[in-house]
Amino acid sequence: MATLYLTEQGLYLTKNQHRLVLSKNGKKVIEIPVFQVERILIFGNIQVSTQALDLILDSGIECSFLSSKGKFRGILRPAEQGNVFLRIAQYERYLDSQFRYEFSREIVKAKIANQINHIKRYAKNHPETSFKNEIDELSRELNTIPEEKLISNLLGIEGFSSSVYFKAFGKMVSNSGFDFSMRTRRPPRDPINALLSLGYTLVTNELYSLLSASGFDPHIGYYHELLYGRPSLALDVTEEFRVPLVDHLVMNLINLRSLSKEDFQQNEEDGGVYLKNESKKIFFAEYERAITEKFNSKSVGSSADFRSIFKNQVALLNKSVQLGEMYKPFTWEQ
């Protein structure tokens, strides 16, 4: 089944029996059998009829709403029974400082390991560029993660490691039409940052849905600080997939020239740079390919795709929280 990305402003989503109908200015654009759709992402000014919403909910389809810039607004999902015992365990683990620290430590270790592996993968095919300093710095940070129970120290290590990693990331951009010097967000200040932000949002959205469906409260996390409206647990799990899925995808899109600077525009309100609506179709198609393409994973122990790995990690987190066992994040091993 497919993910339906709706980005063209002014579309109207209705139903015709068991088919979803997209129209614009009174003219039908396309009809899609509902059984072919697994999830729907709606960006910006797109109207949905109540009849279509009924069909979506009755068919067990998740429908996410995002701004035209890609900011997550909310999700509509079918009603389900909540796993109250998992919720109780989740809250108890949050009050357990030892569990929170150990969970956070494993998340940071996995993220830095993935950063190192990404650089090494690129360096293997580009011996003309030296990444020795960046790899050495990241390796030192990975090997010196403190054993003390202070998440604030982990935040410092992660922040420094990310600055080193993105310095290397800039050196990995071989397309002369693009520059990248540092990670910027809210708003993204250049095309590459726009792609990274959009990709991270899509991953977080999928994990939010999986966590909710499993009975978790996506807003009670262990590494990310609790803030009103922040899906902290979804953000926790997103950390292990930023590099192998999103960063790798963005690097390929830019270096293989699938996108050009003409695919982006600057927003007058916030000064940020964003993908044009028409160009999002290219990104979403490549994102779907990247997330559904199988690869050999040492971390999983078999051939798998990222969507199945997402489900596997949520199941591991469920077991970790309910039994108090150590959570093992996904690592992108060669």
50 and 138: one domain? no
Residues 151-170 have pLDDT tens digits of: 999 999 999 999 999 999 99
CA distances in angstroms from 122 to 12, 167, 252, 334, listed in the order given: 43, 14, 11, 12
Residue 89 located in a structural domain: yes
Give bridge partners of residue 15 from the DSSP assignment: 20
- Would you say residue 119 lies in a domain? yes
Within 10 angstroms of residue 235's Cβ, the number of other Cβ atoms is 20
Question: Do 200 and 177 share a structural domain?
Answer: yes
Last residue of a domain, one of 16, 41, 76: 76
Which CATH number characterizes residue 178's domain? Answer: 1.20.120.920
Regarding whether 285 and 207 lie in a shared domain, the answer is yes
**Domain containing 118: what range?**
84-323
Is the domain of 269 the same as that of 153? yes
Whether residue 98 sits in one domain with residue 53: no
Q: How far apart are CA 261 and CA 259, in angstroms?
A: 7
Dig out the tokens for 242 from the structure: 């930023």
> Which tokens go with 91?
């809250």
Digit-coded pLDDT (tens) for 206-254: 999 999 988 999 999 999 998 888 999 999 999 999 999 999 999 999 9
**Rounded (5°) CA angle 104-137-241:** 40
> Could you give the number of structural domains in the chain?
2
CATH code where residue 8 lies:
3.100.10.20
Cα–Cα distances (Å) from 63 to 38, 49, 69, 229, 233, in that order, read 9, 13, 17, 18, 20
- 315 shares a domain with 255: yes
Judge whether residue 334 has pLDDT over 70.
Answer: no
- Provide the whole-model pTM: 0.89
